Amino acid sequence: MQSVAAFTDTYLPTVNGVTYTIQTWRERWHRRGGRMDVVFPADDDYDPEPGEYGVRSLPFPFYEGIRIGAPRIPGAVGDVDVVHAHTPFGLGLAGLRLARRRDLPLVATYHTPTGEYAEYLSSVGAIERGVERTAERYERWFFDRADAVIVPSEDAERRLVDEVGVEAEIVVLSNGIDVERFEPVEGDDFRRRYDLGDGPLIGYTGRHGYEKRLDELVRAAADLDVTLVFGGDGPARDELSALADDLGVDAHFLGFLDREELPAFYSALDVFCFPSPVETQGLVALEANACGTPVVGVNEGALENTVLDGVTGYHYESGDLDGFRRGIRRALAEREALSARCLDRRDEVSVDRSVDRLAALYDRLSSK
């Protein structure tokens, strides 16, 4: 097995799709007898495990919970076969420098469309567009210096090629789901613990960012006889809560849930709802499906492919609240049949299958 140094600007204690992917890949890599070190922005609230190296960092001023790490290379990670950058910024630059200094293969993963977050820096349209263009030029510069760029979906590949203009080799490789963890469980205890009632339950978990358009979910729920539940947190939470109160929606905001609770959360839901058009894969949709819960998601971004109409859920067009409601009603009515189809696809989305392909990529690049 190859020895790998993974560089990331997002890691524990922050919990999101990037953190989850790195953790899961690392655990599977170690299970196979390999070594995968992680270099990340140090945080006083997290005590690193062996092989995890925190570097000096500062809080990102525009987004709570995100830190910016100094582009340093800890001496302990120098003796590796492959460098894997999970960010084009900060610590991704350190990974690039290590790869060039040691003449090592550099693999980069495109987790997040950076330009989509320009609104956190300015509410002025012209400035937002300028930030987006600058971010795309920088992403093109960085990713074109990688030996291979991993994207989790065909939509992410299209963005990098058509919108960003990346010319490096691109490999579509799903992040994968830990199907040992995410499987159907009894959800009644979860409902009782959080006083969610016995009626139809729809919900979402993840970052409450403005770019996720979670207000569409609150507005859609206003004309449905359902209870709405949110897991996670983020800058849009207070506005979502106020909107739910204004519209008379029975909404519950649970905050961040331990990963151990997520299978029960997904299993308790009748439908998982996902209005975000900016996903490069949408791992939470696949986690919900792995627990037997259908997804109603926007027909944009990676969710165009992640959600399979009539198989794992239904699509709606962004901004079409009536279409969103129709999709939710249909998924509620067909919940049992959709759940069975979701469970039939568990092996196709497993992380073990993804790590098999990751290992083959590392081997190929190392043998050049």
Sign of the Cα torsion 92, 59, 275, 289 reads: positive
Residue 105 domain flag: yes
Instruction: Indicate whether 343 and 354 sit together in one domain.
Output: no
Instruction: Indicate whether 236 and 287 sit together in one domain.
Output: yes
pLDDT of residue 121: 47
Instruction: Indicate whether 22 and 158 sit together in one domain.
Output: yes
Residue 181 domain flag: no
pLDDT of residue 128: 60
Residue 167 domain flag: yes
pLDDT of residue 116: 53
Residue 183 domain flag: no
297 three-state secondary structure? strand
Number of domains, the chain: 2
State both tokens at 67. Answer: 């830190």
Domain harbouring 88, CATH code: 3.40.50.2000
Residue 129 domain flag: yes
- ∠ CA 195-197-201, rounded to 5°: 110
Instruction: Indicate whether 160 and 43 sit together in one domain.
Output: yes
Q: What are phi and psi of 328, to 5 degrees?
A: -65, -45
Sequence letter at residue 127: I
Task: Evaluate whether 43 touches 65 at the Cβ level (below 8 Å).
Answer: no
Residue 24 domain flag: yes
Instruction: Indicate whether 161 and 91 sit together in one domain.
Output: yes
Residue 45 domain flag: yes
Instruction: Indicate whether 197 and 273 sit together in one domain.
Output: yes
Instruction: Indicate whether 162 and 215 sit together in one domain.
Output: no
Instruction: Indicate whether 234 and 314 sit together in one domain.
Output: yes
According to DSSP, the residues that pair with 251 across neighbouring strands are 228
Instruction: Indicate whether 354 and 335 sit together in one domain.
Output: no
Instruction: Indicate whether 216 and 275 sit together in one domain.
Output: yes
Q: From the first residue on, what is the mean pLDDT of each consecutive set of 10 residues in the chain (368 residues)?
A: 94 86 96 96 92 89 70 91 94 96 97 60 53 84 98 91 95 94 96 96 94 96 97 94 98 94 98 93 93 97 91 97 98 98 94 96 94
Concatenate the DSSP letters of all residues of 240-277 into one string. HHHHHHHHT--EEE--PPPGGGHHHHHHH-SEEEE--S
pLDDT of residue 220: 98
**Residues composing the chain:** 368
Read off the pTM.
Answer: 0.85
Instruction: Indicate whether 156 and 228 sit together in one domain.
Output: no
Q: Which residues of 181-221 form beta strands (DSSP E)?
A: 201-205
Residue 38 domain flag: yes
Task: Evaluate whether 88 touches 143 at the Cβ level (below 8 Å).
Answer: yes
State both tokens at 135. Answer: 């971010």
Task: Evaluate whether 259 touches 15 at the Cβ level (below 8 Å).
Answer: yes
Residues 6 or more apart whose Cβ sits within 8 Å of residue 232: 204, 205, 206, 207, 208, 255, 256, 257
CA 249 – CA 120 distance, rounded (Å): 27
Instruction: Indicate whether 43 and 162 sit together in one domain.
Output: yes
Sequence letter at residue 34: G
What is the domain extent for residue 144? Answer: 3-176+350-366
